Amino acid sequence: MSIKEIASQKLPEMIKNRRHMHMHPEVSFKEKETYQFILNHLQQYPELKIRENVGTNEQNEGRGIVASIGEGHPHIAVRADFDALPIEDQKDVPYKSQNPGVMHACGHDGHTSTLLALVDTVVLNKANLKGTVSFIFQYGEEEQPGGAMAMTNDGALEGVDKVYGQHYWSQFDTNEIQTRPGALIASPDGFYITIKGSGGHAAYPDTTVDPIVVAAELITNLQTAVSRQISAIDNAVVTVGSVQGGDAFNVIPDTVRVIGTVRTFKQEVKEKIYEIFKAEVEHTTKKRGATYNMDYVFGYPAVINHEEEAKVIEAAAKSLDLPYKEADPLMIGEDFSYYILEKPGAFFYTGTGNIDKDSRHAHHTDMFDLDEDGLESALMMFMKILELESVIEWN
């Protein structure tokens, strides 16, 4: 059968598995039932070499799985993540989340069901293997420090030549494939600043050190870190997402908390913005008589696709007659970056956006859903990538 025929036959099972996981989501580092669901599926195949509890350490309770089949090289790995988010599912669908306050609002249930289908397909065609395929099931992508770094440190890529991954994306049309060589996904840092003043009656601000005024000045100053101190050629974003301080109209509070994120692609830009932040926070608070505490958290590295592997993805999409577009860099975050810091590889998007199926809602929102027809395209892509990497032939 052709790749298209095989993937079409697998679609109903992919949908079934995806909906099961959608109904039973678990947040990052707490994915015990999901882990067991994946492991049960893999253990039906005696041909698989299964490593359990990959990436588990004293710092987290997460557990990953690496399953491999075949011998020798080329050795190609494919990764999927399986954690959910602390969001209440508001969709009116039969597969709505049954876990209050937890939801697969990013598509990781789809990622995992697709990789399980790839396992099935490779095992069925094991006689045609010309090397090794590894399947990486990763926990904890949504929450720092993530699962990828712990899994790579624990040897998830041992013996691997190249590694690939994908993400379903609701803002792209269903079945459209997007990637690019080089910078694809930004590095997401976080900042948590507490400004300490001295509060008092709102009628007498001269007797206080008003942390709200200091916060307002600081926020304005931090925005210039991108607009005036970073080259316009370098993509960077500074966003304040939360300002917390005070509860009454006639009281100046003692403290204000400012929380936000910085998104960059280049390490030197990332470091420069951090230095700007340190200087700006210290200077602004000091000159107004306030003090501060700043916790600046460096997030996942940027996803920088290797050129040769990005071209393999493009060739796979075009050979399958799937719509292909070179992606614009996105300012989101994704810990797949750790895999391709260690080995050559690339990441791509598979579109699942369909207005008629109400699947255009943004990721990380309570109405998010997938157009499940896109699962077939992603499976086809991985099958074709393995073929182009000369690790397997399909009958």
Q: What is the pLDDT of residues 14-43, one digit of tens each?
A: 999 999 999 999 999 999 999 999 999 999
Q: Which residues are catalytic?
A: 83, 141
114: left (phi over 0), alpha (psi -120 to 50) or beta: alpha
- Which structure tokens are listed for 132? 């090794």
Predicted confidence at residue 48, as pLDDT, reads 98
Q: List where CATH 3.40.630.10 sits in the chain.
A: 3-184+303-388
- In CATH, which of 2.130.10.10, 3.20.20.140, 3.90.950.10, 3.30.70.360 is domain 187-297? 3.30.70.360
Predicted confidence at residue 231, as pLDDT, reads 86
Predicted confidence at residue 235, as pLDDT, reads 85
CA-CA distances (angstroms) from residue 224 to 162, 239, 280, 291? Answer: 40, 11, 10, 21
Residue 225 pLDDT > 90: no
* Average pLDDT score over residue span 49-66: 91
Predicted confidence at residue 395, as pLDDT, reads 73
Predicted confidence at residue 55, as pLDDT, reads 95
For residues 351 and 177, is the Cβ–Cβ distance under 8 A?
yes
Query: Which of 383, 394, 390, 381 lies closest to 130 in space, CA to CA?
Result: 390
CA-CA distances (angstroms) from residue 244 to 167, 240, 332? Answer: 34, 11, 24
Query: Which of 96, 92, 72 lies closest to 84 in space, CA to CA?
Result: 96
Measured CA to CA, the distance from residue 353 to residue 357 in angstroms comes to 8
| Percent of the chain predicted with pLDDT > 70 | 100
Predicted confidence at residue 106, as pLDDT, reads 97
Weakest-pLDDT range from 22-36, 58-72, 193-207: 58-72
* Average pLDDT score over residue span 158-185: 98
Weakest-pLDDT range from 12-16, 44-48, 231-235, 319-323: 231-235
For residues 338 and 163, is the Cβ–Cβ distance under 8 A?
no
Amino acid, single-letter form, for residue 337: S
The CATH number of the domain covering residues in 3-184+303-388? 3.40.630.10
Q: List where CATH 3.30.70.360 sits in the chain.
A: 187-297
- Which structure tokens are listed for 373? 């027809």
- Which structure tokens are listed for 326? 């070179």
The three state secondary structure string of the chain is CCHHHHHHHHHHHHHHHHHHHHHCCCECCCCHHHHHHHHHHHCCCCCCEEEEEECCECCECCCEEEEEEECCCCEEEEEEECCEECCCCCCCCCCCCCCCCCECCCCHHHHHHHHHHHHHHHHHCHHHECCEEEEEEECCCCCCCCCHHHHHHCCCCCCCCEEEEEEEEEEEECCCEEECCEEEECEEEEEEEEEECECEECCCHHHCECHHHHHHHHHHHHHHHHHCCCCCCCCEEEEEEEEECCCCCCEECCEEEEEEEEEECCHHHHHHHHHHHHHHHHHHHHHCCCEEEEEEECCCCCEEECHHHHHHHHHHHHHCCCCEEECCCECCCCCCHHHHHHCCEEEEEEEEECHHHCCCCCCCCCCCCCCCHHHHHHHHHHHHHHHHCCCECCC
CA atoms within 13 A on the CB side of 70: 27
Residue 292's DSSP bridge partners are 195
* Average pLDDT score over residue span 48-76: 93
Predicted confidence at residue 57, as pLDDT, reads 81
Strands of 49-54's sheet in order across: 49-54, 64-70, 132-138, 75-81, 162-173, 345-353, 177-179, 324-326
Residue 164's DSSP bridge partners are 78, 346
Angle (CA) 181-188-304 rounded to 5° is 15
pLDDT in tens, 239-250: 999 999 999 999
Query: Crossing angle for the helix pair 32-42 and 108-124, nearest 10 degrees?
Result: 10
Residue 85's DSSP bridge partners are 103
Residue 224 pLDDT > 80: yes
